[in-house]
Amino acid sequence: MPDLQHDTVILARLGEITLKGLNRGKFERRLIENISRRLRRIGSFSVVQAQSRVWIEARDNQQDLEAALGHVVSVFGVVSASPVWRFRGDLDMLLAQAVAFARTQVDPARVQSFKVESRRGNKQFPLTSPEISSRVGEAIMVALSDRLRVDVHQPDFTVYVEVRDTICLYARVVQGPRGLPVGTGGHGLLLLSGGIDSPVAGYMMASRGMELDAVYFHAFPYTSDRAREKVLALADILTAYTGRLTVHIVNFTDIQIILRDHCPPDMLTIVTRRMMMRIAARLAEKVRAKVLVTGESLGQVASQTLEALLTTDTVVAMPVFRPLIGLDKNDTVDLARRIGTFETSILPYEDCCTVFVAKHPKTHPSLADAVQAEEGLDIEGLVGQAMTLIEEVAL
Amino acid sequence: MSIYLDHTASARPTPAVLATYGRQLAEVYANPSSPHQAGRAAEKALLDARGRIAKSLGCVPAALILTSGGSESINMALKGCLLRPARLPRRLLISQGEHAAAWETAAWLETQGCAVERLPLTRSGVVDPDAFAAALSEPAGLISLILVNNETGAINDVAGMVALRDKLSPRTPIHLDAVQAWGKIPLGFDASGVDLMSGSGHKLGAPKGIGWLLRQPRCRLDPLVHGGGQQNGWRAGTENPPLAAALALALEEACVGLEPLARTARELSERLLAELDAAGTRYTILSPPVRAWPILAIAFAGLRGETLVSALSAESIYIASGSACSSRRSKGNRVLAAMGYDAETVLGAVRISFALSNTTDEIREAARAINTAWHRLARP
């Protein structure tokens, strides 16, 4: 009987990153950094990369590997992850470990079916992959014939065997979010409201590796403190995907009052949004973000018609990314549910876009309409004033 | 220092009530149903409190069913009357001025096969007496009406309604949701002529978690909470002598304070309006001219109630908004709408409620804050 020592570790698989060419190392290093930073919150883990995979190991046996797994599979760049048994040894060792491993998968309440799938990276190992599967399956059946039966088509669980310089056994494969590691896709400024869309937009850009700051326009007391808390709660949920996130809260009340008193009611929403974009662009320069990100979707509301979007775009010199532009609202809602922002987004506290909304806002404003509505406003003064009224909350 | 003008939502307990409650929590911890000495001491404390509570409410202790609060009491009255096998039809009369506790219970009873008639309000926020009389032309299993409206302070005419009931439909019991009436207007259960009456402790300075339903022996009712047979089987659940003692004291204080409160609240509310007028702030008073004085419903022109609540809150001045809105659906105020106010007015509604502890200085400060907020934020 061989000594049945093994390490329990987490194996994370990478997707798109492995297709990268010369800068693949940069992507991998960033991914390892992101996973490490996430795990630092819950304990002491080593995170190393080998053979196009990332291995996560607890530094001592006090660490909660299951919690770590949960964090690992929320890091962009990870395709999937598994808790694995890892050990060195020969065929006898493999068979003994596989039986012990299968025992941990047995459901005491019922007889289950299983199969074995093997991969052999170490060509020195004396058996081929199909032979490994067959020998391991046989050993498990002999030991646990009263609990298990073989079903290669629809098994209740699969024992995966990977033979490389070490041998790995695992049965669970937890899907990750895929995408690219945050920090490899540049830096953007997300216009975050309390709604359903903008957190999803932030999530989508983060999934392409973009690092984010967020800006929220707060018009207290037209928007209540609860609205502000709601936005911060949404941002906090987003940090599970984006990593560190700073929310810049612009005190927008006085500007909103000035705009309301100055502009025709049917142009107020557009003028307000143009002002927000200008302030956001100025803030983006300050935090060195290269692009603005919004949750707008074409035609969703009056301020998101093509004309309205064009009218707001003209006031900023940087690109505006709108990852939801072609998405149906239902798909956005599904995504919001999946990333955990939906329940918070639907809390009934309004954002400042809706406080003074006209009964019939202009749906097809021309640039000339907007310019005319803003005539006489000290735009530069207002933007400058807003920049002095920003509170930063680092999450 | 904060200025609390939301006593209708929940009143602040006096130091004496807190002291009684704290002392009894420490000393009277045994179960009043236990036969040992500690249990009997708890029972004695409970009986003493029940006697005092009944006295303040104008009834005998046997009429008193202690509950967890107003909502439970109202649920018990409505469900306990209408869901029991009875000779009376399963028809419930309520008004459009009811608190959600009765309104939503009635809606649920509809799903259980009861017919519910919702009587209209007059512009003063009370039940339209003609509609009330007309509804009584058919037999009903229960009439349930709010006595003092929690939004406006409007007082329904109990004597008039009891007289009409006695004349037109003498067997139909009347339940009064008197949650906002106790401690604000003179009231006694036996003298009222109604069959059931609800109340809630925290609205008049007792801790949260205790309320009551009063029942005349002639009124047939099923219990809502079944279990260990406490309170003669009317409401199961271990009785709470410390809460009952705190309630007894809070009620006694409220009875003593009744007349001074009415006088003070009226003066404070007039002072507030005078300060608003002096600053040119524009508003509509939604409360009727005669009302439970501690409650003042008022709508400011061109300023949402919620916005004003937030603005004052930032200065530690606490009032209530008359309606909750959300970004995409404006949830108006059912009661104010039933009084005939338009959506714009309803959106601007707030409720300011006074207690004996409020001072003229506080009202002057609150008025200053309202005036400042209105002139800065409102666009009438």
Domain ranges for chain A: 7-175, 187-394
B92 three-state secondary structure: strand
Q: Tell me the average pLDDT across A99-113.
A: 88
pLDDT value for B275: 97
Mean pLDDT of chain A: 88
Q: Decide if pLDDT at B101 tops 50.
A: yes
Min distance A256 CA to chain B CA atoms (Å): 10
Chain segment B182-211, per-residue pLDDT in tens: 999 999 999 999 999 999 999 999 999 999
Q: Tell me the average pLDDT across B296-314.
A: 93
Residue B143 lies in a domain: no
Min distance A235 CA to chain B CA atoms (Å): 19
Mutate to test the interface with B, among A344, A350, A355 (most CBs of B within 10 A): A350
Query: How many residues are listed for chain A in this entry?
Result: 395
Rounded CA separation A125/A140 (Å): 20
pLDDT bucket at A124, cuts 50 / 70 / 90 = confident
Under 8 Å between Cβ of B114 and B92:
yes
Q: Cα dihedral sign for B66, B72, B78, B80?
A: negative
pLDDT value for A356: 66
- A221 to B324: CB separation less than 8 angstroms, yes or no: no
Cα–Cα nearest to B127, from B101, B100, B161, B150: B161
Rounded CA separation B203/B200 (Å): 6
Mean pLDDT of chain B: 93
Q: Cα dihedral sign for A238, A240, A245, A251?
A: positive
CB of A351 within 8 Å of a chain B CB? The answer is yes
Q: Tell me the average pLDDT across B34-63.
A: 96
Residue B16 lies in a domain: no
Q: Cα dihedral sign for A197, A199, A204, A205?
A: positive
User: In chain A, which residues have their Cβ closer than 8 Å to the Cβ of B327?
Assistant: 194-195, 348-351, 354
- Amino acid in position B142: L
User: In chain A, which residues have their Cβ closer than 8 Å to the Cβ of B313?
Assistant: 221, 225
pLDDT value for A358: 64
Q: Decide if pLDDT at A244 tops 90.
A: no
CA atoms within 13 A on the CB side of B186: 3
CA dihedral A15, A20, A22, A25 (to 10 degrees): -20
User: In chain B, which residues have their Cβ closer than 8 Å to the Cβ of A333?
Assistant: none
- A261 to B379: CB separation less than 8 angstroms, yes or no: yes
pLDDT bucket at A240, cuts 50 / 70 / 90 = confident
Cα–Cα nearest to B101, from B174, B178, B162, B161: B178
Between residues A20 and A240, the one the model is more confident about: A240
B196 three-state secondary structure: strand
ipTM of the complex: 0.73
pLDDT value for A349: 64
Domains A7-175 and A187-394 are alike in CATH topology: no
Chain segment B70-92, per-residue pLDDT in tens: 999 999 999 999 998 877 789 99
Chain segment A349-368, per-residue pLDDT in tens: 665 545 566 667 777 778 88
* Pairs across A and B, CB distance < 8 A: 39
Chain segment A211-231, per-residue pLDDT in tens: 999 999 999 998 888 889 999
pLDDT value for B207: 97
- B377 to A257: CB separation less than 8 angstroms, yes or no: yes
Query: How many residues are listed for chain B in this entry?
Result: 380
Give the C-alpha distances (Å, rounded to integers) separating A363 from A303, A355, A373, B239. 7, 18, 15, 63
Q: Decide if pLDDT at A22 tops 50.
A: yes
Residue B370 lies in a domain: yes
CA atoms within 13 A on the CB side of A193: 21
pLDDT > 90: percent of chain A: 46
Number of domains in chain B: 1
pLDDT value for A363: 74
pLDDT value for A109: 86
pLDDT value for B122: 95
Q: Which of B306, B311, B327 sits opposite A354 (nearest CB)?
A: B327
Residue B357 lies in a domain: yes
- Is residue B226 classed exposed, middle or buried when 0-12, 13-18 and 19+ CB atoms within 10 A define those classes? exposed
pLDDT bucket at B368, cuts 50 / 70 / 90 = very high
Rounded CA separation B43/B22 (Å): 18
Q: Decide if pLDDT at B325 tops 50.
A: no
Residue B323 lies in a domain: yes
Min distance A219 CA to chain B CA atoms (Å): 10
Closest residue in chain B to residue A355, using alpha carbons only: B327
Min distance A263 CA to chain B CA atoms (Å): 13
Give the contacts of A109 (CB within 8 A, at least 6 positions apart).
none
CA dihedral B305, B310, B316, B320 (to 10 degrees): 30
Give the contacts of A120 (CB within 8 A, at least 6 positions apart).
A127, A128, A129, A132, A163
- A221 to B376: CB separation less than 8 angstroms, yes or no: no
Min distance B310 CA to chain A CA atoms (Å): 5
pLDDT bucket at B264, cuts 50 / 70 / 90 = very high
Q: Cα dihedral sign for B176, B182, B187, B188?
A: positive
Rounded CA separation B123/A327 (Å): 49
Q: Decide if pLDDT at A158 tops 50.
A: yes
- A224 to B310: CB separation less than 8 angstroms, yes or no: yes
- A349 to B327: CB separation less than 8 angstroms, yes or no: yes
Q: Tell me the average pLDDT across B117-122.
A: 96
Mutate to test the interface with B, among A222, A228, A356 (most CBs of B within 10 A): A222
Q: Which residues of B are the active-site residues?
A: 325
Q: Which of A221, A257, A350 sits opposite B326 (nearest CB)?
A: A350
Q: Decide if pLDDT at B327 tops 60.
A: no
Q: Cα dihedral sign for B2, B5, B8, B11?
A: positive
Residue B132 lies in a domain: no
The secondary structure of residue B148, as a DSSP letter, is B
Interface of A with B in 220-239 (CB under 8 A): 220-222, 224-225
Closest residue in chain B to residue A256, using alpha carbons only: B377
User: In chain B, which residues have their Cβ closer than 8 Å to the Cβ of A225?
Assistant: 310, 313
Q: Cα dihedral sign for B204, B207, B209, B214?
A: negative
User: In chain A, which residues have their Cβ closer than 8 Å to the Cβ of B314?
Assistant: 220-221
User: What residues make up the domain containing B361?
Assistant: 3-9+258-377
* DSSP notation for B14-75: PHHHHHHHHHHHHH--S-TT--SHHHHHHHHHHHHHHHHHHHHHTS-GGGEEEESSHHHHHH
Q: Tell me the average pLDDT across B176-183.
A: 96
- A225 to B379: CB separation less than 8 angstroms, yes or no: no
Cα–Cα nearest to B314, from B253, B234, B377: B377
Q: Decide if pLDDT at B147 tops 80.
A: yes
pLDDT value for B117: 96
B→A interface, C-beta within 8 Å: 304, 306-311, 313-314, 324-328, 373, 376-377, 379
Which CATH number is associated with domain A7-175?
3.30.2130.30
CATH topology of domain A187-394: Rossmann fold (3.40.50)
The secondary structure of residue B1, as a DSSP letter, is -
B272 three-state secondary structure: helix
How many distinct helices (H) and strands (E) make up chain B?
12, 13
Residue B101 lies in a domain: no
Min distance B373 CA to chain A CA atoms (Å): 9
- B310 to A220: CB separation less than 8 angstroms, yes or no: yes
Between residues A363 and A199, the one the model is more confident about: A199
A108: tokens are 């005491």
CATH code where residue B269 lies: 3.90.1150.10
Mutate to test the interface with A, among B304, B327, B328, B379 (most CBs of A within 10 A): B327
pLDDT value for B161: 94
Q: Decide if pLDDT at A51 tops 80.
A: no
- Amino acid in position B165: R
Q: Decide if pLDDT at B326 tops 70.
A: no
